[in-house]
Structure 1
């Protein structure tokens, strides 16, 4: 089988892979949900779902620092990575020795294409199709807020970093009817308090990851933007683009409904 990944690399597999390694948490979870638990041999230290099953797998480092010696010991016949979450030099080094399939995801459609391709690559097309259909139905039932609400979504503290344009979180925000206050900036810009006040968002969402924002952080944003609704949200539901998308619409609808209530 020859397949072109989402970064344009062509990959040829003589047979379905039996020793799969995942370098991306959300794609690791997807492999397990495709029924491939016994074929996954290595994951990163950030691969936390499904909790009990990933504990039994070899940790091959982080998403941006691979332990090449451990990878060589495992001898994977397929490695799955992602353009944004992994680092270019590490991936290029792996590509010299191994079959590496890369995702590149900005929208729900990109995520569903990734799901289809992984199903094809691993011989789990039927399960992949089932998951895809369930995810599509879930998002079709999502009722976005109207008119849209100007929203700042923060992923880091000290310095403050928010979500800009051209990433999956920006896309999910749009799906909810939350208009990104920093859509004019690229990717994950650093935001000064002055810039936040100038943007004057109606809603500020504080993500539980990668920085673990908690309820105690709400007050510091309220001081900067007293008029805004400030809420801590589950970052996995906004940014994980594997099978976690099955659970995202119900959660996102709850957030939409709570925000509507708070702003009414």
Structure 2
């Protein structure tokens, strides 16, 4: 096989003499996608947060988290490729990992980015048929969901991801993309990334319909909803599954059914 050149989402060119056989994956949702593309046997290292499928953490080497890893442990695995994400992993981590081997970085802010990532993995790991199959299934489910949602009234929301300090998902990220898909207007969309907010002023000039408390990265519970409801006035405070709003990759296929149930229960 001749050398082949591929470019990742941040513009880094990679030259491969053969299809990568030993994968370290440092993003939970991308680990799940790799498994769904039939690559589980090639995964040699994962993070402690790679919880899907459930058996994986008992069968693969855990090399750390998404922000901090054991470089020596990763080096000992002799990976052909280390799969990262621009938002999930730090620039410092990526630069250090490049001293060990090739680092493929994804950057997912939109649904189109997600389709591209799946196609890229198909080319990178020589599983084009599986990647195309997943993209087709996701596209069909997305179109079905768009028909379901098209006549729903737009609702104004705040989506909380953290407590102490309170932080929300703002614009230019994948959570905001999923909110828009659901016809939820993000009250903080004009801000960037994940700003801190003053909970006592959460509904000031916002006219919120709903406040969503995500199950991750901070595991909001009912007691948190009660605490926050003091400040939300007429807005309903609802616990939501963070994986469905923030996990890209193959997880999106399950998200559409979850979103339908969510709307039916609002």
Q: TM-score, normalised by structure 1?
A: 0.95
Q: 1:230 aligns with which of 227, 232, 237?
A: 237
Per the alignment, residue 247 of structure 1 pairs with 254
Per the alignment, residue 191 of structure 2 pairs with 185
Gaps of 5+ in 2: none
Is residue 139 of structure 1 aligned with residue 142 of structure 2? Answer: yes
Determine if contact 1:200/1:225 at 8 Å carries over to the other structure: no
In 2, Cα distance between the equivalents of 1:139 and 1:147? 18
Gaps of 5+ in 1: 260-264
Q: Secondary structure at the match of 1:217?
A: helix
Is residue 24 of structure 1 aligned with residue 31 of structure 2? Answer: no
CA drift at 1:12: 1.1
Per the alignment, residue 210 of structure 1 pairs with 217
In 1, Cα distance between the equivalents of 2:228 and 2:143? 33
Q: How many residues align?
A: 259
Per the alignment, residue 61 of structure 1 pairs with 64
**Once superposed, which parts of structure 1, at least 4 consecutive aligned residues long, lie more than 4 Å away?**
none
1:253-264 aligned within 5 A: 253-259=260-266
In 1, Cα distance between the equivalents of 2:263 and 2:119? 29
The C-alpha deviation readout for 1:68-111, integer Å capped at 9, x for no partner, is: 10011000001100000001111011123311111001011101
1:61-140 aligned within 5 A: 61-140=64-143
CA drift at 1:226: 2.8
Determine if contact 2:201/2:231 at 8 Å carries over to the other structure: no
Q: Secondary structure at the match of 1:86?
A: coil
Q: TM-score, normalised by structure 2?
A: 0.95
In 2, Cα distance between the equivalents of 1:18 and 1:71? 15
CA drift at 1:194: 3.5
Deviates more, 1:176-185 or 1:187-196: 187-196
In 2, Cα distance between the equivalents of 1:69 and 1:93? 11
In 1, Cα distance between the equivalents of 2:112 and 2:57? 27
Per the alignment, residue 49 of structure 1 pairs with 52
